[in-house]
Amino acid sequence: MSSSKLNFEFRQRLNKILGGEHHNYCYQCGACVAACPAARFSDHFNPRDVLLKTLIGDEEDLIRPDSIIWKCTNCYTCYERCPQDVRPVEVIIALKNLCAQEGVLPEDINKFSETLVKTGRSVVITSTVNRRRQELGLPELKDVNMAELQTIIE
Amino acid sequence: MAKKISVAPFWGCMIPVKYPQMELSVRKTMPAIGVELIDLDQFTCCPDPIYFKARDKMNWLTIAARNLAVAEERGLDIVTMCSGCTSTLQEARFMLAEDPELKKQINQRLKRINKEYKGTVKVKHIVVMLRDDIGIERIKASIKRPLTGVKVGIHYGCHLLKPSQIMHIDDADYPSLLENLTQALGATPLTHTEKLLCCGKGCMDDEMPLEMTYEIFDSMESVGADCMGLICPTCFNSFDMGQILIARKKNREFNLPVIYFCQLLGLAQGLAPEEVGLHLHRIKIDRIMEMIGAKEGSVEVAA
């Protein structure tokens, strides 16, 4: 724990992100931990711990490119199990959004999501791709209507 | 002749670019069971529920709502081929139905491009469409080369089933959807200890996905699987290439072909492996072809 004080200001910022407000419902029962694959396969990840740090408002530990939250596999088992409708994975994604706002996304996430903002697709189309598709008798992949996308994202 | 259904296929990003064989298998197998695919070229990335959603949930939801609106305008339901696309589009529908104020905000953004999300469009992963709109009997009627004796290790992946509050597809702990569909092809679906384990691809870690893949294949091998049957390109990425990495790093060769459900359907419909792009996989399916009695080429079907 990096601070002995509760950081309510941090929690209020999290509340403003979609799904972030559900962190308030957590009563630390641990139902999310038992079936969590990241908890099983990593020595450090534990969704209940992440929620505890969130409730305390441990911004320093959570909001960083090497934060433990990036070990979440996004499998939604915790969402399935949680009796309190915390939707832990969605809280974790909301925490990731705070990382983005603070400019501390891991480099891979930054690069990947940038591709989407620039091309409307998450995987780049190369000439090799369309050549292979042609060989398979599949239609050519065309460019996405970027004018529309850029008008609706903020 | 049973009636035809028309749907808008949502190919996503990974399948058309990285694994076009999956798209090929869908395009080749649907005509025989009365599904017409009407391609809508206005779709964009769903957007992806791991990386892009991590960056900005509001933008993620806006782009998803735009995709839904595109299909709504054409009066078509969406059929997804990838569990990630299914997850994004279904969750977007859920969030927008759950929170009318949020729906209003998103529609204000869509209004800039003269679109509106009304909430009428349905989204189904292709295996759910097969179960609910086509039905086991009609699938069976399209089978010309049953996959008799082939033991398929089922892998559900995460996003088809969970959270069940949103997905409404099957029991998330004791699902039967893929078992029943696999059985319809004449194959033997195998349940195994790690059937529901995540492939691990969604985390930012190099070791974890490999460890998970190892456990899944160890569990499948222990029950005598001949191949793995799955429904998601991200899981495929973990498992086809993943077996090569495991052989290299852990010195253990599973050598179990990883097959997308519509590729299995194609083989059972009598298509040649190349016709459903199985020649593009790292782990080859020669043994499976020997088992079903056809080394190469499509089966000739008597009129």
Considering only CB atoms, B20 lies closest to which of A99, A112, A133, namely A133
Are B152 and B272 within one domain?
A: yes
Question: B155 with B120, same domain?
Answer: no
Domain that holds residue B173: 144-291
What are the mean pLDDT values of chain B's consecutive 10-residue runs (303 residues total)?
88 97 98 97 96 97 98 98 98 98 98 98 98 97 97 97 97 97 98 96 94 97 98 96 95 97 98 97 96 66 43
pLDDT for B18 equals 96
Regarding whether B112 and B152 lie in a shared domain, the answer is no
Does residue B286 form part of some domain? yes
- Domain membership of residue B60 (yes or no) is yes
Is residue A101 within 8 Å of A65, Cβ to Cβ?
A: no
Nearest CA among B141, B131, B124, B155 for reference residue B185: B141
- The per-type count for chain A, helices as H runs and strands as E runs, is 10, 0
Last residue of some domain: B69, B94, B125?
B125
- In this structure, the answer to whether residues B89 and B203 fall within a common structural domain is no
pLDDT score recorded for residue B293? 84
Residue in chain A nearest B107 by alpha carbon = A152
Q: What CATH number has the domain bearing residue B62?
A: 1.20.1050.140
**Do both B117 and B216 map to the same domain?**
no
* Beta strand spans in chain B (E): 5-10, 35-37, 78-80, 123-125, 151-154, 188-190, 227-230, 258-260
Q: Is residue B105 located within the same domain as residue B149?
A: no
- Could you tell me the pTM of the whole model? 0.96
For A114, residues 6+ apart whose C-beta sits below 8 A from its C-beta are none
pLDDT given for residue B3 in this prediction: 79
Q: Confirm whether B296 is domain-assigned.
A: no
Domain boundaries A8-101, corresponding CATH code: 1.10.1060.10
Instruction: Provide the pLDDT for residue B300.
Output: 54
Residue B163 inside a domain? The answer is: yes
Q: Tell whether B85 and B165 lie within a shared domain.
A: no
Structure tokens at B258: 């990883």
| Phi and psi, residue B74, nearest 5° | -90, 0
Tens-binned pLDDT, residue by residue, of chain A (154 aa)? 555 689 999 999 999 999 999 999 999 999 999 999 999 999 899 999 999 999 999 999 999 999 999 999 999 999 999 999 999 999 999 999 999 999 999 999 999 889 999 999 999 899 999 999 999 999 999 999 999 999 999 9
> Do B148 and B287 lie in a common domain?
yes
Please report residues of A whose CB lies closer than 8 A to that of B198. Answer: 37, 73, 75, 77
Q: What is the CATH number of the domain that holds B155?
A: 3.40.50.11810
Q: Is B271 inside any structural domain? A: yes
Q: Which amino acid is at A137?
A: G
- Whether residue B273 is contained in a domain is answered as yes
Interface test with B, best of A73, A104, A115 (most B CBs within 10 A): A73
- Residues B227, B151 share a domain: yes
- Count of domains forming chain B: 2
Question: Which residue of B14, B58, B212 is in closest CB contact with A18?
Answer: B58
* ∠ CA B100-A152-B57, rounded to 5°: 60
Residues B240 and B270 in one domain: yes
Whether B71 is covered by a domain: the verdict is yes
| B148 and B44 assigned to the same domain | no
Number of residue pairs across A and B with CB atoms under 8 Å? Answer: 161
Residue B224 lies in a domain: yes
pLDDT at B299: 59
- pLDDT for B302 equals 42
Distances (CA, A) of B260 to A17, A126, B101: 36, 24, 39
Q: Where in chain A is the domain with CATH 1.10.1060.10?
A: 8-101
Find out whether the peptide bond into B49 is cis, omega within 30 degrees of 0: no
Co-location of B262 and B164 in the same domain: yes
Give the percent of chain A with pLDDT over 70. Answer: 97
